[in-house]
């Protein structure tokens, strides 16, 4: 298989950035678009491409992963929550990519070969897992970033090889450190959102006006918005409300009919390009806590009333926002109006929530992701399958990785010249490498062409990923 060389492509001038997403909901593609927007403003980037991996897969694969997920959300939410919990432990599955996924990945691999990227950003775990396999097989040596799109970290997002992992908040970074991931490979940047530098001053909140509610039905327009609007009609507080129905024209018509007798406080919109202005003009957002929606609200200093969260990631997003004081959650439609009234009528409460939202907002996340990736290590971090087993066990036993001892304890190989961690492996795996690559003074120098048949397959795979085009790599052992 022909190798895609990032270093050869870079020699032509400027970085070539490939952004891989998956259209399961709007958030992953929105994060990809935010990173693409950031690329456009950088002089060191020559070209950028965005690819939704589901769009180039088979129709059946696309339907099952894309549409099938939301069918389950609507009809069997308990199954979605069970699936989320079952897939949460990191490295629960450590084998190769299944044949069906591998077959559907062929167009993505071909796109990588054609574009010859110097760096790849994954805003969904599907391409992240694929890129790990390609790095280990030597198909590409592009710097690879995994960018999570929810506040909590889920184990599905942790691949066996990558260059940089960007999480939404510091607690997720601490969790990964506790599991054994090296601190030089994980950064808490926030979730990338589109920048809006030219929002007019007129869009700012007017402290003397009636509080404005921004009620969102989501990009596709959820019928739950009808219940939300109906309950606001029973509120005692003075307010105005803008309802965004997305691309659901039928929903927009129903809500227009619902609020017609009341008139003045309500404004009903379909899909709109005004969202940046609305986020900054509104006082309180009412809607689902998707990772991107929540991040946009926090960056705008806009607290949230959370309704109808998807079990799993959105419930956990909501937990974090409430913990920080930037949101309240309503578990039943019958009390939404009362809940909003409680926020608006308590002196100073809305202002405190707005301050909390501003405190945790990360408007520069896209900038931080790109800078961290392009200035980060050039060699990937490889987590061997034995080390993955240790990390899974530590997660299940609720242990900190540094507490582990014996043959299964984790050790790190550090690039002696660059100072970056290049491998996580079990202590007993280190013996294999020392037998072959230890120098007379006890140092360890990995070398090409010395991987004999008795060297374990996993060690050979590790050498291929780390050495790339080099003949030797001096490393030191830590842990």
pLDDT of residue 202: 43
> Which pLDDT value is given to residue 456?
66
Tens digit of each residue's pLDDT (9 = 90 or more) over 120-162? 999 999 999 999 999 998 899 999 999 999 999 999 999 999 9
Which stretches of 202-348 are DSSP H helices? 224-232, 249-259, 275-281, 291-299, 313-323, 336-345
Lowest pLDDT segment from 20-29, 34-43, 61-70, 372-381: 61-70
Average pLDDT rounded to a whole number, residues 358-379: 95
> Start-end ranges of CATH 3.40.50.2000 in the chain?
1-195+363-375, 201-362
Residue identified by tokens 């009234």 is: 341
Residue with tokens 């950031």: 38
Give the model's pLDDT for residue 9: 56
pLDDT at position 460 over 70: yes
Distance CA 376, CA 159 (A): 18
Exposure of 328 in the CB half-sphere (CA atoms within 13 A) = 18
Mean pLDDT value across residues 435-451: 81
Q: How far apart (Å, rounded) are the C-alpha atoms in residues 296 and 276?
A: 8
Higher pLDDT, 36 or 100: 36
Q: Which H helix or E strand runs over 386?
A: helix 385-396
With 0.85 as the threshold, say if the pTM is over it: yes
Separation between Cα atoms, residue 132 and residue 261, nearest integer Å: 57
Whether 178 contacts 400, CB under 8 Å:
yes
Distance CA(195)–CA(37), nearest Å, equals: 8
pLDDT of the residue at 41: 86
Lowest mean pLDDT across 108-112, 221-225, 448-452: 448-452
CATH number of 1-195+363-375: 3.40.50.2000
pLDDT band at 59 (very low <50, low <70, confident <90, very high): confident
Q: Which CATH architecture has domain 201-362?
A: 3-Layer(aba) Sandwich (3.40)
The predicted structure's pLDDT at residue 349: 96
Mean pLDDT of 423-435: 88
| pLDDT the model gives residue 219 | 61
Instruction: Report pLDDT for 200.
Output: 45
C-alpha–C-alpha distance, residues 337 and 208, integer Å: 22
Place of tokens 């180039």: 56
Evaluate whether 144 touches 120 at the Cβ level (below 8 Å): yes
What is the total residue count of the chain? Answer: 479
> What's the distance, Cα to Cα, between the start and end of the chain in Å?
36
Q: What is the DSSP secondary structure assignment for residue 134, as one 8-state letter?
A: H
Residues in a beta bridge with 122: 20, 146
- Write down the pLDDT at residue 307: 92
Mean pLDDT along residues 389-401: 87
pLDDT score for 74: 76
Mean pLDDT, the chain, as a whole number?
Answer: 88
Identify the H or E element spanning 425: strand 421-426
Over residues 413-436, the mean pLDDT reads 91
Confidence of residue 284 (pLDDT cuts 50, 70, 90): very high
């Amino acid at each position: 298989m022909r190798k895609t060389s990032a270093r050869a492509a870079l020699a032509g001038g400027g970085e070539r950035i490939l952004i891989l997403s998956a259209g399961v909901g709007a958030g992953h593609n929105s994060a990809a678009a935010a990173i693409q927007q950031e690329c456009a403003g950088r002089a060191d980037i020559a070209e950028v491409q965005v690819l939704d991996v589901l769009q180039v897969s088979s129709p059946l694969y696309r339907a099952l992963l894309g549409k099938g997920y939301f069918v389950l959300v609507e009809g069997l939410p308990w199954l979605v929550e069970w699936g989320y919990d079952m897939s949460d432990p990191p490295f629960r599955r450590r084998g190769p990519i299944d044949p069906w996924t591998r077959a559907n990945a062929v167009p993505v691999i071909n796109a990588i070969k054609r574009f010859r990227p110097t760096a790849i950003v994954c805003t969904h775990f599907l391409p992240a897992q694929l890129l790990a396999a390609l790095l280990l097989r030597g198909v590409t040596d592009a710097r690879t970033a995994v960018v999570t799109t929810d506040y909590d970290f889920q184990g599905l997002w942790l691949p066996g090889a990558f260059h940089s992992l960007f999480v939404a908040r510091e607690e997720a970074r601490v969790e990964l450190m506790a599991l054994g991931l090296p601190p030089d490979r994980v950064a808490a940047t926030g979730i990338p959102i589109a920048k809006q530098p030219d929002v007019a001053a007129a869009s700012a909140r007017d402290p003397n006006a009636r509080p404005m509610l921004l009620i969102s039905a989501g990009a596709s327009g959820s019928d739950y918005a009808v219940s939300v609007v109906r309950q606001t009609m029973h509120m005692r507080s003075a307010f105005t409300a803008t309802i965004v129905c997305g691309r659901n024209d039928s929903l927009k018509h129903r809500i227009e009919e619902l609020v017609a007798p009341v008139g003045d406080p309500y404004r009903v919109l379909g899909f709109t390009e005004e969202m940046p202005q609305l986020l900054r003009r509104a006082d309180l957002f009412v809607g689902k806590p998707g990772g991107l929606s929540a991040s946009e609200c926090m960056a705008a200093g806009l607290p949230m009333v959370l309704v109808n969260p998807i079990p799993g990631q959105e419930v956990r997003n909501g937990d974090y926002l409430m913990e920080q004081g930037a949101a309240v959650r309503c578990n039943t439609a019958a009390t939404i109006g009362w809940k909003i009234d409680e926020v608006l009528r308590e002196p100073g409460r809305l202002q405190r929530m707005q301050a909390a939202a501003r405190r945790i907002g990360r408007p520069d996340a896209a900038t931080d992701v790109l800078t961290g990736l392009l200035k980060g290590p050039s060699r990937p971090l490889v987590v061997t399958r034995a080390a993955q087993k240790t990390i899974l066990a530590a997660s299940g036993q609720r242990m900190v990785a540094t507490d582990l001892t014996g043959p299964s304890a984790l050790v790190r190989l550090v690039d002696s010249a660059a100072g970056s961690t290049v491998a996580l492996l079990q202590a007993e795996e280190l013996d294999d490498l020392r037998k072959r690559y230890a120098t007379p003074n006890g140092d360890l120098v990995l070398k090409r062409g010395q991987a004999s048949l008795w060297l374990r397959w996993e060690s050979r795979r590790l050498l291929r990923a780390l050495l790339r085009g080099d003949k030797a790599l001096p490393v030191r052992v830590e842990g």
